[in-house]
Amino acid sequence: MNWFNVKRLFVRELLSQLRDRRTLFTTVLLPVMIYPVLGLVMMQVAQFVTESKSNVVLVGEAAFEGLPQFVNPNGEEEGLVTSQDTLLTLIPEEFPEHATLEGVRESLQQRLDSKEFDAALVLSPELHRYLQFLRESVDGTASFDVQPEAIPGPVIVYNSVADKSKIARSRIAGVLDKWEEEVRASLFELGQLPLGVATPVEVQVQDIAPEESQAAQFWASMIPIMLLLWTLTGAFYPAVDLCAGEKERGTLETLLCGPAKRVEIVTGKLLTVMVFSFATSLANLVSIAFTGVFMVAKVMPVGSELHSKLGMFPGWNILWSLVVLIPLVAMFSALALAAATFARSSKEGQYYMMPLLMLALPLSMISVMPNVELDLGTSLIPIAGSALLLRNLVESQFDVAIRFAIPVMASSAFCCYLAVRWATFQFNSEAVLFRESEKWDIRLWIRQLIRNKPMLPTGGMAIFVAIAILMLRYVANATASAPETWQDFVFSNSIALILTIGVPAILVAVLLTNNVMGALKLTPPPVVAVLIAVLLPFLLHPTIIWLGVGIEQLYPVNPAMKAATAPVEAMLNSAPLFALMFVIAIVPGIFEELAFRGVILTGLQKDSRPSSAIFVSAFFFGITHGILQQSLNAFIIGLLLGYIAVRCGSLIPTIIMHVLHNGITVLVARSESQEWLSPLLTDYHGTPMYSPLVAVCGGVIAIGLIVWFHIQTRPKLAVGKSQHAGD
């Protein structure tokens, strides 16, 4: 790569964007202006936010003979008892004679629906009798004909959907807690007992979290989401103008005719987009910090209810986030550039903002989810790891942030690399760069699709089959019921896999291509490929099993998932071996290969590089497995299967590998098979496992065989050219 050309392109694109007032306003001025404006609006709105009193109906007598009063009124007017310190207006009503508690509650519910009051509190006559019994028991003798557990306590009737009703319920609960303490103290004093008897052991809790971390907890969850969205926004609009905009202006042809390579053009544009994305992020950070420190503090003074809910603004701590933003900016810039390159116009490019946003938003929301912490597993998840790292930096948890900063940045850098490759591929494809907008007619499209069938599936067909499989698998899993016998499991899972995975691929190959066998890669393979397909499952099985253990260490299986699958596993232990082989090895080995290494991989190969086609097909293969741990394992296995299918041009070796691998897994799981495997097994936390030595030796031999297979399946044309060059 010629970095001089990259520098010239970078300066050209940067100056072009600096002359665009819309880009400057969107990426720099808007973030700087929006937060101070929001702060001023909050200050104005705060003047109108007042805490109003809650109207509460009090059914029953609130006076208890010899015990503290339920509420100490500051004034009483027209039947209303108002308590200034609790912001409650109590509307007393008598408990209806001969009425049941259930009948009173139903009547109050109807009145509450009509918004006659905010909430209601019921003090039944039985409660009065019970409290009087307690007082007499402490004072002397007493008789009571009802069991204490049958006594209804104070009943609060409220509407959890209405905010005013929820506030009223909270205020009533506070008054009841205070009154309960007073009643307890009164009874202990009457019985001449120390109050410590009620709470003989007092637990002391010590929070070791720094004060700044506790105060910034709310903001640490929200700031990463805001920052990630602004980073994507700051990258997207310049990318659209640099790619789709140049198509509209007619300057792209001139740029492509220059001496710069396509990868240099992509790099120059990427650096320009990164500058604006980083500027947007920096402007947001500075604006958020300025607004939070100098303005929000006045809106929510210390001691107010709003301050207790939101906590103290972290202030300049959030500037530590700049460390994380560099790889994140690169990733978002590359994704935005790739999407904008595919667009035919600026208007179409703006439509692609929503899919990127829909992908980024759920991952960034992980920072607000409870019980999700930054560890090695979460740090490897794109966007989610960055959001969690940003949260830890804002909370001043630098010890955790330092440990996992490198995996987070490495994950973002890898995604950036893939996106740059995607954008470079599109710049190398004139069909993408110079395609024109056209009116789309579904009837003409279907007619052309049937009349002008291609020999092999296209990339669009491959993506269509993959998405159709995902949708069908989702519907099948959502509508499936738990099997009661192993026969039900074998039948339902086999039929579901054939219909949701095998049938879509076969239909596309039969109806939309002229070479069905070629579309499904059902061609005779080389002998060396069959030999490799037979040996690799036996050699790699120990390594793959240990790989699954490592994945579960990174992403532990949910206990609820274990409990849900335990009955099925116990049921399958009683199933005959041939049935398990059929449902777990034979059916998936045939139909999953027809779909993922057949139609999907063949179609992707037509419109992309073999490595990209293998990666994408393995991704879809992994995600269809549903459970995260199985998906990651299947993705890695799918890379190997895709490589074998591409090198030998046939699906038969991958079917053999798939069936053998799953079949070996079934055999090893059976207890009777572990007896003759005992020399190769060891104990791992109470579970028989291959010894590490067996896994390492098998993996090394397998790598040697793959290298030998790679040499043996080298294209003859390339070999001939190299020999001719050597002569």
**How much of the chain, in percent, has pLDDT values that exceed 90?**
16
pLDDT at 265 over 80: yes
pLDDT of residue 511: 87
pLDDT tens digit sequence for 219-264: 677 777 877 877 888 888 888 888 878 877 777 777 777 777 888 8
DSSP state of 296: I
pLDDT at 32 over 50: yes
The pLDDT confidence band at residue 651, using thresholds 50, 70 and 90, is: very high
pLDDT of residue 684: 79
pLDDT of residue 646: 93
The pLDDT confidence band at residue 308, using thresholds 50, 70 and 90, is: low
Side by side, which strands form the sheet with 54-59? 75-77, 80-83, 88-93, 54-59, 119-122, 155-157
Q: Which of 66-75, 128-137, 355-364, 387-396 has the lowest mean pLDDT?
A: 66-75
pLDDT tens digit sequence for 586-627: 999 999 999 999 999 999 988 788 888 999 999 999 988 878
**Helices 217-249 & 262-291 angle (0-180, nearest 10):** 140
Q: Token pair of 544, please?
A: 């793959």
pLDDT of residue 475: 86
Nearest Cα to Cα of residue 135 among 63, 67, 61: 67
CB 647 within 8 A of CB 715: no
CB 265 within 8 A of CB 420: no
pLDDT of residue 78: 41
The pLDDT confidence band at residue 75, using thresholds 50, 70 and 90, is: very low
Nearest Cα to Cα of residue 602 among 513, 715, 520, 526: 520
Cβ partners under 8 Å of residue 376, min gap 6: 404, 407, 554
Give the pLDDT mean for 26-39: 62
254: left (phi over 0), alpha (psi -120 to 50) or beta: alpha
pLDDT at 310 over 60: no
pLDDT of residue 726: 42
In the chain, what are the domain boundaries? 3-40+212-433, 54-195, 452-726
401 versus 17: the higher-pLDDT residue is 401
Give the span between the Cα atoms of 559 and 565, in whole angstroms: 10
pLDDT at 714 over 90: no
41 versus 48: the higher-pLDDT residue is 41
pLDDT of residue 600: 93
Nearest Cα to Cα of residue 656 among 519, 505, 518, 532: 532
The pLDDT confidence band at residue 79, using thresholds 50, 70 and 90, is: very low
pLDDT at 76 over 50: no
pLDDT at 119 over 80: yes
CB 629 within 8 A of CB 500: no
392 CB neighbour count, 10 Å cutoff: 25
**How much of the chain, in percent, has pLDDT values that exceed 70?**
79
Give the span between the Cα atoms of 313 and 332, in whole angstroms: 27
Question: DSSP string covering 535-579, please?
Answer: HHHHHHHHHHHHHHHHHHHHSPPPHHHHHHHHHHHHHHTTS-HHH
- Give the chain's radius of gyration (CA, Å): 35
Give the span between the Cα atoms of 517 and 391, in whole angstroms: 53
pLDDT of residue 660: 94
Give the span between the Cα atoms of 450 and 511, in whole angstroms: 8
pLDDT of residue 149: 54
Residues comprising the chain, all counted: 727
pLDDT at 178 over 70: yes
pLDDT of residue 533: 92
Cβ partners under 8 Å of residue 605, min gap 6: 613, 646
pLDDT tens digit sequence for 372-406: 788 888 888 888 888 888 888 877 777 888 888 88
Q: Which of 12-16, 371-375, 642-646 has the lowest mean pLDDT?
A: 12-16
Q: Which of 362-366, 376-380, 689-693, 704-708 has the lowest mean pLDDT?
A: 362-366
pLDDT of residue 20: 63
pLDDT at 46 over 60: no
CB 340 within 8 A of CB 352: yes
Among 149-158, 198-207, 650-659, the range with the most confident prediction by mean pLDDT is 650-659
Give the span between the Cα atoms of 377 and 343, in whole angstroms: 35
Report how far apart, in Å, the C-alpha atoms of 618 and of each of 302, 345, 466, 498, 614 are. Answer: 54, 32, 11, 19, 6
CB 533 within 8 A of CB 644: yes
pLDDT of residue 256: 76
pLDDT of residue 141: 60
Q: How many Cα atoms sit within 13 Å of 677 on the Cβ side?
A: 20
Give the pLDDT mean for 519-533: 90
DSSP state of 74: S
The pLDDT confidence band at residue 569, using thresholds 50, 70 and 90, is: confident
pLDDT tens digit sequence for 439-451: 555 666 667 667 7
CB 85 within 8 A of CB 93: no
Give the span between the Cα atoms of 515 and 602, in whole angstroms: 12
pLDDT tens digit sequence for 273-287: 888 888 888 877 777
The pLDDT confidence band at residue 724, using thresholds 50, 70 and 90, is: very low
Q: Which CATH architecture has domain 54-195?
A: 3-Layer(aba) Sandwich (3.40)
pLDDT of residue 80: 42
